Amino acid sequence: MILIAGPCVIESKEQIFKIAKYLKPYSEKYNFYFKASFDKANRTSLASFRGPGIDKGLEILNEVKEKFGYKLLTDVHETWQVKKAAEVVDVLQIPAFLCRQTDLLVEAAKTDKIVNIKKGQFMNPEDMKYSVLKVLETRGCREANYENSKKYGVWLTERGTTFGYGNLVVDMRSLVIMKNFAPVVFDATHSVQMPGGAGGKSSGKREYVAPLAKAAAAVGVDGFFFETHYNPDEALSDGPNMITPQELQNILKDIDCINKCKEN
């Protein structure tokens, strides 16, 4: 099972290493990727914390790789960031708001890294096939299906769909639909986000992370994405929808149980 975990954004080297240490047990049990963003370019307000930037951020992530041996995942927002990030990380993540950006997808596809495309909050899951194809065709493959995407390193991540103003819902059918095109990861923490719900920044309801994750496990996905922080209420980005390492441990126990039942 793919497991992506880590904080929303790099706040400091101390913060990153503290969270990375908490997550060590999972790197030995799952196909684990440590996630953190060097820049959050789509914050609601200009005053919101964005991160240390690409150079300092990648330097810190590289130190995490050297110390813990983790595979790494980070976001890229612009084409010029792709080559730099690919020198350090193992997965290039295309943010949900940019999932149709052809130049960004093609530039990521030109690397030898896995490309994780987050489904836009505004997207029909059926149409994510065409985002996948932009990567596959750049890599020499002309048919978007699960096996081809697995072979050529393309993932899709579900993170909820806009439902009115300031709210997201998860249509579990999207997990089944998108699995026709690529391995699917369920982003349980962003799926409980409430965009713009805290007056100039996003809010969220982390009490729904566990139920949604268990529902996704029952439907059947290839992996899970959990933004994790030792003190979510003091986090500088996405605090209301992040979970603690202890909460992550409890959720993963339930997911493992569901997966074991399905195998039997």
Q: Which of 37, 171, 51, 136 is nearest to 91 (CA)?
A: 37
Phi-psi region of 73 (alpha: psi -120 to 50; beta: other; left: phi over 0): beta
What average pLDDT score do residues 2-29 get?
96
**β-strand pairing of 154-158 with 168-169:** unpaired
Judged by average pLDDT, the poorest of 18-27, 141-150, 195-204 is 195-204
Report angle CA 51, 61, 75 to the nearest 5 degrees: 55
Split at pLDDT 50, 70, 90, the class of 61 is very high
Q: Which of 118, 114, 117 is nearest to 86 (CA)?
A: 114
At residue 166, φ and ψ (nearest 5 deg) are 70, 25
- CA–CA dist 256, 199 (Å, integer): 37
User: How many other C-beta atoms are found inside a 10 Å radius of the C-beta of residue 249?
Assistant: 13
pTM: predicted TM-score of the whole model, two decimal places: 0.95
**What are the CA-CA distances from residue 123 to residues 141, 173, 177, 185, 199 (Å)?**
23, 13, 13, 16, 25
pLDDT digits 0-9 by tens, 88-112: 999 999 999 999 999 999 999 999 9
Residue 19: is its pLDDT beyond 90?
yes
Asked if 39 contacts 55 with a C-beta cutoff of 8 angstroms, the reply is no
pLDDT digits 0-9 by tens, 184-231: 999 999 999 988 765 665 678 999 999 999 999 999 999 999 999 999
| CATH 3.20.20.70, applies to 2-263 | yes
> Position of tokens 């639909």?
177
Q: What is the DSSP letter of 36?
A: -
What average pLDDT score do residues 73-81 get?
98
- CA–CA dist 238, 240 (Å, integer): 6
- CA–CA dist 151, 147 (Å, integer): 6
